């Protein structure tokens, strides 16, 4: 059996090629992918050939946000019948290293994360019509949940883990800087968690419109209203928690200024080195908390989407067929026209 794959050969060089697919082995499942989301890291690989020290050094099949339908299972697989629609967890920790044994599989020393160029050889990704994965990676989705919705489980899991690192949000005032897919979902998570106020900032109107649909109580275009955040910095700050999702120096400084004493900055966005106003952090006793990927939050995200607790549909602004992958990547790069772009695969309905 052959399958089409979306493979990056180098910066700006994305191709649709054919690769053989073997039958599923013991503990494995063959899945027909129905929908896959283009993530910021996929865009960095496509636009820049990598990000920070992580570079594409060999052809890599992209994608780590995907959902599909089980076609066949290998020996020893139970509870996962053909026809089951699943979200695919892209994380595969080893379970044996020191961090796995300490209950921190997120920090696994041998982590294999789908579509990642961090390791060499690279870990090949999920953007293909058919793929064999470990059955344990397949999380069944609720009846009535589309594969497009299920493919949003991975970015939602990132935001649920960020919430976990932030602590309870009920009754608190929350700021989200950056209204891309992660920022919009962070706003939704904060609203679902009972935050009293959720303010989202960005430089573009389209993502801010989506953020309002996802639960933001106020949105601010800081390019059009450069002074709008000043009131939130008065009297030592306003917000209890800030989710910094842009990885932009001005947004980081603005978030710290707007946090009240003993507030918590949760850094979600990633980039290189950024300047931090240390005197302000010390003077207001701000906690800076990193957050990275997810663990049990993936299954939680699938369950929340299936139960309708978080409606992920507004963030998916376009679905493009796999044959139009290059155009889809270029569209996903344009924040004036798209928030989350999905690829549609094969003949399986999304």
Task: Say what the pLDDT of residue 337 is.
Answer: 96
pLDDT band at 350 (very low <50, low <70, confident <90, very high): very low
Q: Quick one: average pLDDT of 191-209?
A: 98
Residue 61 lies in a domain: yes
Same domain, 125 and 251: no
Exposed / middle / buried, residue 17 (Cβ in 10 Å: 0-12, 13-18, 19+): middle
pLDDT digits (tens, 9 = 90+) for 279-333: 999 999 999 999 999 999 999 999 999 999 999 999 999 999 999 999 999 999 9
pLDDT band at 256 (very low <50, low <70, confident <90, very high): very high
Structure token digits, residue 9: 């050969």
Same domain, 183 and 141: no
pLDDT digits (tens, 9 = 90+) for 48-83: 998 878 899 999 999 999 999 999 999 999 999 999
**What is this structure's pTM?**
0.96
* 282 Cα distance to chain centroid: 31
pLDDT reading at 347 higher than 80:
no
pLDDT reading at 348 higher than 50:
no
Domain count for the chain: 2
Task: Say what the pLDDT of residue 272 is.
Answer: 83
Q: Quick one: average pLDDT of 236-265?
A: 98
Same domain, 161 and 138: no
Residue 18 lies in a domain: yes
Residue 120 lies in a domain: yes
Is there a contact between 74 and 27 (Cβ–Cβ < 8 Å)?
yes
The answer for residues whose C-beta is within 8 angstroms of residue 43's C-beta and 6 or more apart is: 329, 332, 333
Task: Say what the pLDDT of residue 52 is.
Answer: 78
Exposed / middle / buried, residue 2 (Cβ in 10 Å: 0-12, 13-18, 19+): exposed
Is there a contact between 1 and 21 (Cβ–Cβ < 8 Å)?
yes
pLDDT digits (tens, 9 = 90+) for 161-172: 999 999 999 999
Residue 249 lies in a domain: yes
Residue 93 lies in a domain: yes
Same domain, 18 and 109: yes
The answer for residues whose C-beta is within 8 angstroms of residue 101's C-beta and 6 or more apart is: none
Q: Quick one: average pLDDT of 128-145?
A: 97
Average confidence score pLDDT of the chain: 96
Residue 298 lies in a domain: no
- Structural domain range at position 111: 2-152+312-344
Residue 299 lies in a domain: no
Same domain, 33 and 112: yes
pLDDT digits (tens, 9 = 90+) for 100-123: 999 999 999 999 999 999 999 999
Same domain, 223 and 263: yes
Same domain, 57 and 175: no
Residue 202 lies in a domain: yes
pLDDT reading at 147 higher than 70:
yes
Cis peptide before 160 (omega within 30 of 0): no
Same domain, 211 and 135: no
Same domain, 132 and 220: no
Task: Say what the pLDDT of residue 349 is.
Answer: 38
Question: For residue 221, what is the domain's CATH number?
Answer: 3.40.50.720
Same domain, 208 and 74: no
């Amino acid at each position: 059996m052959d399958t089409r794959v979306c493979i990056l050969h180098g910066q700006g060089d994305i191709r649709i090629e054919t690769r053989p697919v073997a039958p599923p082995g013991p503990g494995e499942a063959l899945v027909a992918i129905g929908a896959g989301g283009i993530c910021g890291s996929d865009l960095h690989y496509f636009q820049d050939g990598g990000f920070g020290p992580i570079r594409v050094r060999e052809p890599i099949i992209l994608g780590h946000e995907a959902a599909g339908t089980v076609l066949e299972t290998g020996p020893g697989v139970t509870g996962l019948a053909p026809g089951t629609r699943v979200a695919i967890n892209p994380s595969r920790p080893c379970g044996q290293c020191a961090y796995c044994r300490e209950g921190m599989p997120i920090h696994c020393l041998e982590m294999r994360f789908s579509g990642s160029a961090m390791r060499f050889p690279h870990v090949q990704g999920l953007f293909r019509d058919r793929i064999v994965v470990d059955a344990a990676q397949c999380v069944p989705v609720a009846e009535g949940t589309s594969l497009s919705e299920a493919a949003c489980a991975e970015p939602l899991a990132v935001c649920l883990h960020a919430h976990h690192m932030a602590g309870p949000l009920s009754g608190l005032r929350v700021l989200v800087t950056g209204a891309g897919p992660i920022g919009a979902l962070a706003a939704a998570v904060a609203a679902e968690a009972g935050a009293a106020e959720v303010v989202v900032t960005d430089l573009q109107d389209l993502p801010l419109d989506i953020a309002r649909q996802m639960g933001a109580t106020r949105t601010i275009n800081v390019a059009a209203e450069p002074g709008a955040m000043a009131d939130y910095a008065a009297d030592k700050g306003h917000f209890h928690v800030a989710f910094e999702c842009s990885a932009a120096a001005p947004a980081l400084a603005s978030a710290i200024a707007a946090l009240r004493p003993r507030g918590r900055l949760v850094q979600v966005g990633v980039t290189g080195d950024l300047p931090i106003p240390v005197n302000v952090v010390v003077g207001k006793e701000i906690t800076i908390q990193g957050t990275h990927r997810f663990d049990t939050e993936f299954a939680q995200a699938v369950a929340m989407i299936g139960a309708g607790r978080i409606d992920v549909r507004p963030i998916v602004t376009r679905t493009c067929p796999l044959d139009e992958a290059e155009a889809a990547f270029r569209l996903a790069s344009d924040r004036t026209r798209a928030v989350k772009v999905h690829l549609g695969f094969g003949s399986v309905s999304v």
